[in-house]
Structure formats: structure tokens, C-alpha cells
Amino acid sequence: MNASAPVSQTSLASLVLVRRGKVRDVYSVDEEHLLIVATDRISAFDCILPTQISRKGEVLTAISRFWFERLAHLAPHHLVTTEIEHMPDSVRGETAQLRGRSMFVKRTEVFPVECVVRGYLAGSGWKDYQRTGQICGHRLPPRLREAEQLPAPLFTPATKAAEGHDENVSEARMAEIIGAEAARQLRDTSLALYRAAETYARSRGIIIADTKFEFGLDRDGRTLLIDEVLTPDSSRFWPLDQYAPGCGGDVPASFDKQFVRDYLETLDWNKRPPAPPLPPEVAAAVTARYLEAYRLLTGKSLGLSVS
């Protein structure tokens, strides 16, 4: 395989595909384990683009791994290994497609709620606030500006919609769905994870404006942090050096998708599928941004392509 050829989708003869998401392909490995493969697909304006971003899957996987390890004292997690050599034989036959971009994880029974935490006023939270002075029922001080840091991070859960957008729910509704004790535990853990991650990332030049966690129960009834964690795909990353709300600064563009959106905005495209392709120089600039996000966060370079 060409060292830098991006992966648009995987197909593994030895494993059963259980889900193809916007970005990740999920396979069943055995009764207790899944393989989550991050491809190089990218979406913008809710459409998957026909152009892939080289190394994106590798960066997403490396960022999740970094956070699982760094935050392990706050939440046990599902990650067993990202090293192909440590995975079962059924996975190791497919090395070329999978290396660097795959997480071998404990299979769980997923809690059907997206645990969203918002530390800054952005996206749908900003829209809510402008309309109601609240975000998902949390009353906020008046005259906050777009992108401003909130007085304290907010937990704003949503139900996982099978299709389309997730629906925000109150904590009371969440407690009806998964039980009061679990709801409390997921909220407290999500807030603790976000606080620790936000403080750390900020010290490294990245603002994590908001994020989404998922949790599941393992076979022993333990609650595990699952899915991807604190990646640019599950979070809103902003470059700290472009952050200045209220000081005449614009709302920072997202760290990773900025060039994609900027380019697409120059086109006469109605933001409905099919999305147009990206020119090679734009795709290359986006790859560089992803690698930069990893380098900033971890202080390490991901190095040359491993595939």
C-alpha cells in the first residue's frame, strides 16, 4: 500500500462489520471485543466528502489513545491496545489497512445517551442562549458573548438519534432512561474528564470548547469510557492563539476543519450531498492541521506514515 494513500473504507474478510459510521468502521472480533477503525473520511456541513484526508484516522486514534491513558485515573476505559501485533490473529491478517488507525476494545452495552459537556458558548449552545438565555435549561448570566468561556462547564446530555441529529434531553429525562444512579455517575465523570482535559489542552495551546463522551457497561457491570475520546471529531477544538472573544476577535474557526470550510464556502455548493472534492493542496493542509493538533497536545510528533 502506498505510504500516504488515504483509506476511504475498510473491508476485512475475517471480521463481521457491525457498523459503518461517518468516519469509523466497527467490526466484531469476538464476544467480548470490537475493532474500531478510524478511516480517513472527513465530513463537513454534515456531508461526507469524496476526498479523504491522509493520516486523519491515524491522528484520531493516537489522540484517543493519549487521552484514555492520561485520564485513566478518572475513568476506566475500553481500550485494550492500538498495536496490531497485540491483537488476535483474525485482526492481524489485515495489517495493511489497519495499522495505526485501529483500536481493539472491550465490547460494552452502550448507555443510549451522548454525554455532552460545554465549556464555552458555541454552536447550538450559543443559539439556545441567544433565544432563551439558557443552554438546555441551565440559566446563564446575561450579555455573554459568542465563544466566551462559561462560568462553569455544563453537562447537556442528548439521546442518540438513529438518524439525523441527536436530541437534547434534561438530566431528569436522562435519569428516566438509564436510572438515577447511572445518570449521576455519567454526569460527574463527564464533567471531571472535561475539566481535566480542558485545563491540560489549554496549557498546550488548544481550547476544547465542548465535547461528547460515551459510556458502556462491561460484562462485570463496570462503567467504562468508550468510543473515541476528546478528538477533533468528537469535540470543538480552537487554536488558543486565535481566541479573543469580545476583543474584536472573531469566533475561532475549528482547529481541524477550518481550511475545509473556508474552501467549501468559496464554491457555489448548496451544502447538500453530494459534496464536492477538495483540491490536493487543501487536503494536504488539513492533514498538516491534524498532525499539528496531535503534536501540540502530546508534545510529540506522530512521525512519518506507518502504513
Ligand X SMILES: Nc1ncnc2c1ncn2[C@@H]1O[C@H](COP(=O)(O)OP(=O)(O)O)[C@@H](O)[C@H]1O
**Min. distance of Cβ 23 from ligand X in angstroms?**
4
The region of 17-25, 68-76, 143-151, 169-177 touching ligand X under the rule CB under 6 A is: 17-25
Chosen residue from 56, 65, 78, 257 binding ligand X by CB under 6 A: 78
Q: Does 214 bind ligand X (CB under 6 A)?
A: yes
Query: Which residues fall within 8 angstroms of residue 242, CB to CB, at 6 or more apart?
Result: 249, 252, 253
- Binding flag, residue 256, ligand X (CB under 6 A): no
Angle in degrees, CA 232, 295, 249, rounded to 5: 60
Q: Does residue number 261 form part of the binding site for ligand X (CB under 6 A)?
A: no
By DSSP bridging, strand 206-217 and strand 235-239 are: antiparallel
Smallest distance from ligand X to CB 146, Å: 26
Is residue 222 within the footprint of ligand X (CB under 6 A)? no
Residue pair 79/64 in contact (Cβ under 8 Å)? The answer is: yes
Query: What string marks each residue from 26 to 65 as x (binds ligand X by CB under 6 A) or -?
Result: x-------x-------------------------------
Q: Which of 4, 9, 14, 22 binds ligand X (CB under 6 A)?
A: 22
Q: Does 23 bind ligand X (CB under 6 A)?
A: yes
Per CB under 6 A, contacts with ligand X among 98-157 are: 105-108, 110
Q: Count CB atoms within 10 A of the CB of residue 165.
A: 9
Separation CA 44–CA 126 (nearest Å): 20
Of these, 216, 239, 245, 252, which contacts ligand X (CB under 6 A)?
216
Q: How many residues bind ligand X (CB under 6 A)?
A: 17
Q: Could you tell me if 103 and 65 are in contact, meaning their C-beta atoms sit under 8 angstroms apart?
A: yes
The reply to whether 77 sits near ligand X by the rule CB under 6 A is no
Quickly list H helices, the chain: 56-70, 89-92, 95-98, 123-132, 171-178, 180-203, 258-265, 280-298
Q: Any residues with CB less than 8 A from the CB of 44 and at least 6 apart, and which? A: 257, 260, 261, 264, 275
What is the 8-class DSSP label of residue 266? T
Query: Strand order in 33-38's β-sheet?
Result: 16-20, 24-30, 33-38, 102-106, 79-81
Single residue of 113, 226, 264, 283 touching ligand X by CB under 6 A: 226
Q: Which of residues 12, 24, 29, 84 is near ligand X by CB under 6 A?
A: 24
Is residue 84 a contact residue for ligand X (CB under 6 A)?
no
Residues at the interface with ligand X (CB under 6 A): 19, 21-24, 26, 34, 78, 105-108, 110, 214, 216, 226-227
